[in-house]
Amino acid sequence: MTPFEKSIERLNAARAEARKIIRDCEALARAAAADDTPSRKVQELQNAIVEAKKHRATAVADMLRLDRHAHADYPGESPLVDEQQRLQRPFVEEVTTAVARLETLCDELRWNEIHARAGGALAQAHAALAEARAAVARAEALPIDTLARDLDKVITDLNRALTAAKNAVAATIADRNRFAKTQAEMQNLARPNWDRPPPHPADPAVMVRTLAAQQAAVDDLKQELFEVNDSIENVKRAGRIEIARQRLGSG
What is the average pLDDT across 224-238?
97
pTM of the model: 0.80
Pick from 109, 135, 107: nearest CA to 37: 109
Whether pLDDT at 190 is above 80: no
Instruction: Name the burial class of residue 240, with classes exposed (0-12), middle (13-18) and buried (19+) by CB atoms within 10 angstroms of its CB.
Output: middle
More confident residue, 193 or 58: 58
- In tens, the pLDDT along 2-21 reads 888 899 999 999 999 999 99
Taking every pair of Cα atoms in the chain, the longest distance, rounded to a whole number of angstroms, is 117
- In tens, the pLDDT along 135-188 reads 999 999 999 999 999 999 999 999 999 999 999 999 999 999 999 999 998 888
DSSP letters spanning 6-70: HHHHHHHHHHHHHHHHHHHHHHHHHHHHH-SS-HHHHHHHHHHHHHHHHHHHHHHHHHHHHHHTH
pLDDT for 148: 95
DSSP letter assigned to residue 201: -
pLDDT for 218: 98
Residue ranges making up the domain that contains 84: 3-250
Confidence tier at 251 by pLDDT (50, 70, 90): low
- In tens, the pLDDT along 67-96 reads 888 888 888 888 898 999 999 999 999 999
Residues 6+ apart with CB under 8 A from 160: none
Is residue 147 within 8 A of residue 239, CB to CB? The reply is yes
Dist. CA 198–CA 215, nearest whole Å: 19
CB atoms within 10 A of CB 115: 18
| 188-196 LR contacts (CB < 8 Å, sep 24+) | 196/103, 196/107
User: Based on the structure, what is the number of domains in the chain?
Assistant: 1
Whether pLDDT at 123 is above 90: yes
